[in-house]
Structure 1
Amino acid sequence: MDLPVVVGVDGSEPSLRAVDWAADEAVRRGAPLRLVYASLWERYEGARLAEDPGEPYERLRAEDIVGAAARRAHGRRPDLKISTEVLAEEPEYVLVRESRSASLLVTGTRGRSGIAEALLGSVSLTVAGHAHCPMIIVRGSHDNQARTGMRGRIVVGVAEKAAGSAAVGFACDEARRRGVPVDAVRAWRCPTHETTDHPLLAGEPARLHEQRAAEELEAALQDAPADVELHRRTVEGHTRTALVNASRDADLLVIGARRHHRHFGLQLGRVAHGVLHHSACPVAIVPERVGAAEDRPHRM
């Protein structure tokens, strides 16, 4: 059975863009679409429920929201198989649980309760740190529509020790489905203490760091499928800045998040946080397995 593309909905404009994006992605994958609404309305309507044995207002509202989202997805993709679920639970908990049996999890940047989070809502950020399947946060559009691919490329950030990277594999699979190339980006920096003013040594430390970055990039791409067009790019500077800049010319930015064996969920580093807050296009967070033998896991 094909695992569904799951999208969290709450009636907000960001979640409606996520529905559009998830519907398109489900069709590309030949997978069903599952719309999930979760809220602890019972906690806030306890007294009201005791007085009124009928359906809680918030549940009726939630069913209206998922119904409208389903009609929107069906109008966009008429042949798509769609299911819905309304749950009286914490949305973060529900979406992490749904990720165990999903091919992909999709959310918007922030929902109805996200005004305190100016850049990225707390639900999306929390779920991105614990999802068991790849997760896409739909951002980069400021109206009520999700944009189909316009720039014709997918960017993947390549970290240290990225051989066998799940993020690279995900990016290549997405590129194949869309018929677009992959831009693989590896950022590098030369530590200040390694620079020198000697005319015979000027630039040598930087050259060695750039060469190492190029070698790590090649190692990460060695198992990439031959039918996907790959562009390699090493960039001097902070990884977060390099990827945010690259997102301006991408339809999707893909980064890996390393799961350490001693911790629950994904440990999102500063790069992932910065990209999720500032990317100009949707961002895919792909779980990367880290072996127990690695003493210092590198975090995207």
Structure 2
Amino acid sequence: MQLPIVVGVDGSAGSLRALDWAAAEAARSQHPLRIVHASLWERYEGMRPTFDTERPAEQVLAEHLVASAQERAQLLDADLDVVADVQPEDPVKALVHESHEAAMVVLGSRGRGRIAGMLLGSVSLALANRSHCPVVVIPAMAPSSQPKPGRVVVGIGDAERPTAAARFALAQAISRHGELIAVRAWRCPAHETADHPLLSGSPASAHRQRAEEHLDDVLTVLDRTGSEAAVHRSVEQGPVHQILIEAATGAELLVVGTRGAGRHHGLRLGPVNHSVLHYAPCPVAVVPDTR
């Protein structure tokens, strides 16, 4: 049985963009689509007197919201398997729970928060930090130009073997019949000179060579059996977040990993994750480290 693609909706323009992306992804990958609206209104309405038979306005609004979302998804693809659910729960807690049994969770970068101008909403950030499956965050604005069909970009970090993010990115590129751009950023510390005991020749050349060799090693181990997706290497000097944001221009999806939960659950996102979630020009998939 295929795990569903879960999309969180709240009626905002951002959640509608996320719904459209999730519906298209579900249709393309032949996964069922699960639409979830979570709100705490029922907890408070549960305190209403039992003799009050009128349904709360918040309940009517929530049911109308998910029904409209379900209709919108099925208009995009009449054959799509769609279910919708209203949950009396905190949105983050509800979506984290959904992530246990989901192929991915999709949501907009901003919802109906108090500060409408924020680049990234609190729900998006919290979910990316705590989800048990990949989280795809859809930017509020459409890109200025059409992305190249099937292009997927993934950041390759310091791990010696392919991470869950690298495997997810390759699977996405294969399913899209597209290409995978594997990006490895490198920097030469300012204090290193040519007479550094671990370097020979130009320090910059040595760091670049080391980055190229590491990328080759990771991609060699990455299982591409039966893959029809072309895999391209990109080794660039500069800050990781800047390199990834630039590489994401013209891509359908940018994939990044987490740094592991460690002892303190919920501390998995580093500065690179935060930067790409705020500024990437395309959807960003944050894939939890499952090693």
Q: Taking structure 1 as the reference length, what is the TM-score of the superposition?
A: 0.88
Superposed counterparts of 1:39-118, under 5 Å: 39-43=39-43, 45=45, 52-113=52-113, 115=115, 118=118
**What SS does the aligned partner of 2:162 have?**
coil
When residues 49 and 153 of structure 1 are mapped into structure 2, their CA distance, relative to the original with a 3 A threshold, is farther
**What SS does the aligned partner of 1:210 have?**
helix
Report Cα offsets for 1:192-226 as digits up to 9, x if no partner. 0004599xx99711111111111221122122414
When residues 26 and 241 of structure 1 are mapped into structure 2, their CA distance, relative to the original with a 3 A threshold, is same
Alpha-carbon distance in structure 1 between the residues aligned to 2:114 and 2:195: 50
**What SS does the aligned partner of 2:217 have?**
helix
Alpha-carbon distance in structure 2 between the residues aligned to 1:148 and 1:17: 15
Cα distance, 1:176 vs. partner?
Answer: 1.1
Report Cα offsets for 1:250-292 as digits up to 9, x if no partner. 11000111323423246100000000000000000011135xx
Superposed counterparts of 1:164-243, under 5 Å: 164-195=162-193, 204-222=202-220, 223-225=222-224, 226-243=227-244
Q: How much is the aligned-residue C-alpha RMSD, in angstroms?
A: 2.4
Alpha-carbon distance in structure 2 between the residues aligned to 1:162 and 1:13: 41
Query: 2:30: which partner in 1?
Result: 30
2:285 pairs with 1:287: no
Report Cα offsets for 1:27-85 as digits up to 9, x if no partner. 22211000000011135556766784321111110111111110110000110000011
When residues 49 and 243 of structure 1 are mapped into structure 2, their CA distance, relative to the original with a 3 A threshold, is farther
Query: 2:141: which partner in 1?
Result: 141
When residues 73 and 203 of structure 1 are mapped into structure 2, their CA distance, relative to the original with a 3 A threshold, is farther
**What SS does the aligned partner of 2:288 have?**
strand
2:272 pairs with 1:267: no
Identity of aligned residues (%): 47
Cα distance, 1:110 vs. partner?
Answer: 1.0
When residues 2 and 114 of structure 1 are mapped into structure 2, their CA distance, relative to the original with a 3 A threshold, is farther
Alpha-carbon distance in structure 2 between the residues aligned to 1:80 and 1:24: 9
**What SS does the aligned partner of 1:61 have?**
helix
Deviates more, 1:173-182 or 1:188-197: 188-197
Alpha-carbon distance in structure 2 between the residues aligned to 1:196 and 1:41: 64
When residues 49 and 42 of structure 1 are mapped into structure 2, their CA distance, relative to the original with a 3 A threshold, is farther
Alpha-carbon distance in structure 1 between the residues aligned to 2:109 and 2:271: 18
Structure 1 contact 140–280 (Cα < 8 Å) conserved:
no
Specify the code of the residue in structure 2 equivalent to 1:17: R
Query: 1:293: which partner in 2?
Result: none
Alpha-carbon distance in structure 2 between the residues aligned to 1:149 and 1:67: 31
Alpha-carbon distance in structure 2 between the residues aligned to 1:285 and 1:269: 11
Q: Which runs of 5+ in 2 are unaligned?
A: none
Cα distance, 1:162 vs. partner?
Answer: 4.7
Alpha-carbon distance in structure 2 between the residues aligned to 1:104 and 1:78: 22
Query: 1:298: which partner in 2?
Result: none
When residues 14 and 114 of structure 1 are mapped into structure 2, their CA distance, relative to the original with a 3 A threshold, is farther
Structure 1 contact 257–266 (Cα < 8 Å) conserved:
no
Alpha-carbon distance in structure 2 between the residues aligned to 1:257 and 1:106: 17
When residues 212 and 202 of structure 1 are mapped into structure 2, their CA distance, relative to the original with a 3 A threshold, is closer
Cα distance, 1:181 vs. partner?
Answer: 0.6
Alpha-carbon distance in structure 2 between the residues aligned to 1:165 and 1:185: 13
Structure 1 contact 155–246 (Cα < 8 Å) conserved:
yes
